[in-house]
Amino acid sequence: MPVVAVIGASSNRSKYGNKAVRAYVRQGWTVYPINPTEAAVEGIPALRRVTEIPGPVDRATFYVPAAVGISILPDIKSKNIPELFINPGAESDALLAEAARLGLDPILACAIVDIGEMP
């Protein structure tokens, strides 16, 4: 079963970070919601950082402002996550430049659509 880190997961069902958690669960992924202020998202315990996820992660998807995303990129790199989706509205030139500097190759697309769902 593939593993995804939903960065910026939210318990607010109208936010895309919550919609992503639900979509990935429906598609059979193991989902790790990442949010330092949430205890759980859709009944799944939330973690504060990507680096707290036990074992390998197949994909990370950003639902955070670009300034926050920049600070998370080193954790993505250290966790060796092969796929990084930067969803619409989470990108910036600075984030993309830092990703490139770290050797990451982000995918600029909607991660929910990528798994065959509609947000």
d(CA 72, CA 45): 19
The CATH number of the domain holding residue 54 is 3.40.50.720
* Share of residues in the chain with pLDDT > 90 (%): 99
71 is a domain residue: yes
Report helix angle 66-78 to 93-101, nearest 10.
Answer: 10
37 domain-assigned: yes
pLDDT of residue 88: 96
The answer as to whether 66 is a domain residue is yes
Residues ≥6 apart with Cβ < 8 Å to 52: none
Q: What is the pLDDT of residues 13-46, one digit of tens each?
A: 999 999 999 999 999 999 999 999 999 999 999 9
**Containing structural domain, residue 54:** 21-114
In order of 22, 57, 102, 109, the CA distances from 29 in angstroms are 10, 11, 27, 19
- For 77, the 3-state DSSP assignment is helix
Q: In the prediction, which pLDDT does 32 show?
A: 98
Query: Per the domain annotation, does 110 fall within a domain?
Result: yes
Please indicate, yes or no, if residue 5 is contained in any of the structural domains.
no
Q: What digits encode the pLDDT tens for the residues 54-107?
A: 999 999 999 999 999 999 999 999 999 999 999 999 999 999 999 999 999 999
In a domain? residue 14: no
Please state, for a pLDDT cut of 70, what percent of the chain lies above it: 100
- Cα atoms in the Cβ-side hemisphere of radius 13 Å centred on 45: 5
- Indicate the number of domains in the chain: 1
**Residue 50 domain-assigned (yes or no):** yes
**β-strand partners of 45:** 40
63 in any annotated domain: yes
